[in-house]
Structure 1
Amino acid sequence: MPRNVVVTGSGSGIGAALTTLFRSRGDRVIGVDLRGGEVDADLSAPAGRAAAAAAVAERADGVVDAVVTCAGTSVPGTATVTVNYFGTTELVTALQPALAAAERPRVVVIGSISGTRSTDRDVVAACLADDEAKALEHADRAVADGRAQQLYPSSKSALAQWARRTAVAEGWAGAGIPVNVVAPGIVLTPLSAGLFEDPETKKVMDTAVPMPLGGYLQPEDVARAVLFLASEENSHITGQVLYVDGGAEATLRGPADF
C-alpha cells in the first residue's frame, strides 16, 4: 500500500534524489520547498512552518507515514539556524499527531559530519531550549564577531542532539515513531563545486576522506541510506546518527568516539 511520505527540500540535491526513490517504490511524496513542491513554504519563519504542517496534514488526510527533512542552507548566516534547526524541529513536531496516526511511522532528519566540528555553544544551547529569539541573538553575535562559519555546524550538532532526545521522549518512542539522523559528508552538488576547484581544499578533503568505495558522495548515495531508515524495514533503529561520509567521521574524530 502506498505510504504518505513528506520530504522537505524536495526540489534539489538529496531531497530530489529521495523523492525519485520513494516514488519508484510506489509511495506518495508530499514535497515541501520554497517553490515547486506539492507544498510551497518558507521554513525560516514560524508562520511558514505552521502553514506547511497544516497543508501537509490536509494533503495526507491526517496520516503521515514518514517525514524526511532535507531542507537547509550552508550559506553562513542566521538562516542556518532558522531553517536547518527550527525549520526541521518545529515542522516535525507539528506533524507528530499525523505520524502517530500511521501504522509504522518514521522520521529521518538530515544532519552533517560538520556537526562534529567546532560549534557555538550558546547557539546550540538556545536551539535545544527551543528559544529561537535567543538563538538568533547569539547567531547575530557570531556573525558580528566573524564566526559565521560556526553557525552551520552548530545547527547540525543541535539537530542531532534534538533527534536523539526526541527519539526516546514521550509521544515518540511510546507512539512507535523512530527518529534518526543521516549525517552526510561532502556531497557532489553545484553548491560544493567550488570546494573541489581549490587544489589545497581538495587535498585536505582527500586526506580526511578514505572513501573505501571510491569517489565522493552523490545525492543518490545518501538517499539510499535514508530510504532504509524511513522504510518499514527499519524495525528497531532509533535515536541514531548514521554517518554517510566515506569514513571521514572515523578519520577526523578517531576510533574512541562512537
Structure 2
Amino acid sequence: MDTRTYVVTGAASGIGAATADHLTKAGAEVIRCDVRDADLTTREGRDKLVSEVTARSNGRIDGLVAVAGLAIPSEATVRLNFFGTIATLEGLRPLLAAAEQPRAVAVSSLSAIVATDQTLVEACLSMDEDAAAAAARRTIESGRGRIVYPSSKLALNQWLRRTAVTPDWAGSGIPLNAVAPGVVDTETARTTFLNDPATHDFIAEAMPQPLGFPGPVDAIASLLAWTVSADNSFMTGQILYADGGAEATLHP
C-alpha cells in the first residue's frame, strides 16, 4: 500500500504535535502546519495554507487533521476555531477528493456541552465572519468572555454535522468527523489553568472525568489518527467525545 499523506494544523504543540508524531511513527508522510506557516485567523493566511499544502502534496492528500485553535476570550478565537477551521477543510477538500481513501477530522471540545451562547453560535453559522467577530466582542464586553471558546466549538459541531452528509463530502466519499477532547495534559492547559489549584478544582468539578483528570494527550492523538485512517470507511458526521467519561456523566 502506498504511504498515506496527512496534513495536521496546529502541529507545533499539544494535541497537534502529538497527532503528527503518532502518524509519522506509523509510517505516514505528514505535512505539519502552525501559525508560523499560516495565520488561520486571516483570509490571507488561509489562502497561504491551501497554496503551500497544494504545492507540497502535489495536489493530493489522504487525510486532514484540523487541530489549530485558540481558547482565549477574543474574537480571534472565533476567527480561528470556526472560520479558520472551515476554510481549512473546504480549502483542502479538492486535495482530499483526489485521493482514493480520503478522510478529514476536526478538533472540537467537551466544553461545547457545558456553557455556550446560542446567539454567538448563530452568528457563526450565519457564515458572516465580521458579524460573528462583532458578536464575540459583545459577549466579551458583557463579561462572558469565557463562553466564546465553547460557543465557537458548538458552532463548528453544528456546521460539521450538516456538512458531512452533503454531496461535497459524503457524496464524494470523504468521511468528515470531529473529536471532542475533555481536559488533557498539554503544556497550554498546564500554563493556563491546571497549575492553579483553584482553577484546576473548578474545571474538574464542571467537567468530571471518571477515567482521570487531566487525560492523556496520546489517547486523543491515536483517536484522531484512526478517524483519518483507511480503516474508517463508514463513519461520518460524528462528534466523538474522548473525555474520560465526562459527557456521559453530565448527560446520562
Normalised-by-shorter TM-score class = over 0.9
Q: Is the 1:67–1:106 Cα contact (8 Å) retained in structure 2? A: yes
Report what 1:159 is aligned to: 156
The Cα shift of 1:205 comes to 4.3
Report what 1:183 is aligned to: 180
> What amino acid sits opposite 2:233 in the alignment?
S
Q: Tell me, in whole angstroms, the C-alpha distance in 1 between the residues paired with 2:204 and 2:131.
A: 38
Q: Is the 2:11–2:33 Cα contact (8 Å) retained in structure 1? A: yes
- TM-score (norm. length: structure 2): 0.94
Pair 1:106–1:146, CA change in 2 (3 A) = same
Report what 1:16 is aligned to: 17
Q: Tell me, in whole angstroms, the C-alpha distance in 1 between the residues paired with 2:186 and 2:247.
A: 20
SS at match of 2:172: coil
| Equivalent residue runs for 1:73-222 within 5 Å | 73-193=70-190, 194-207=192-205, 208-212=207-211, 214=212, 216-222=214-220
SS at match of 1:157: helix
Alignment pair present for 1:65 and 2:62:
yes
Q: Tell me, in whole angstroms, the C-alpha distance in 2 between the residues paired with 1:198 and 1:162.
A: 34
- TM-score (norm. length: structure 1): 0.92
The Cα shift of 1:119 comes to 1.6
SS at match of 2:170: coil
Q: Tell me, in whole angstroms, the C-alpha distance in 1 between the residues paired with 2:181 and 2:227.
A: 14
Q: How high is the sequence identity, in percent, across the aligned residues?
A: 45
The Cα shift of 1:206 comes to 4.3
The Cα shift of 1:204 comes to 4.1
SS at match of 2:151: helix
The count of residues paired between Structure 1 and Structure 2 equals 249
> What amino acid sits opposite 2:162 in the alignment?
R
> What amino acid sits opposite 1:188 in the alignment?
D
The Cα shift of 1:34 comes to 1.4
Q: Is the 2:15–2:186 Cα contact (8 Å) retained in structure 1? A: no
Q: Is the 2:183–2:213 Cα contact (8 Å) retained in structure 1? A: no
Q: Is the 1:122–1:135 Cα contact (8 Å) retained in structure 2? A: no
Instruction: Calculate the aligned-residue CA RMSD, in Å.
Output: 1.5
SS at match of 1:174: helix
SS at match of 2:24: helix
> What amino acid sits opposite 1:106 in the alignment?
R
Pair 1:145–1:215, CA change in 2 (3 A) = closer
Q: Tell me, in whole angstroms, the C-alpha distance in 2 between the residues paired with 1:29 and 1:110.
A: 17
String of CA shifts for 1:96-136, please: whole Å, max 9, x gaps: 11111110110110000011122222221122121101101
The Cα shift of 1:217 comes to 1.4
Pair 1:200–1:27, CA change in 2 (3 A) = same
SS at match of 2:173: coil
Q: Which runs of 5+ in 2 are unaligned?
A: none
Report what 2:249 is aligned to: 251
The Cα shift of 1:229 comes to 0.7
Q: Tell me, in whole angstroms, the C-alpha distance in 2 between the residues paired with 1:58 and 1:43.
A: 18
> What amino acid sits opposite 2:83 in the alignment?
F
Q: Which protein has greater RCO, CA pairs closer than 8 Å, 6+ apart? A: 2
> What amino acid sits opposite 1:195 in the alignment?
F
Pair 1:223–1:172, CA change in 2 (3 A) = same
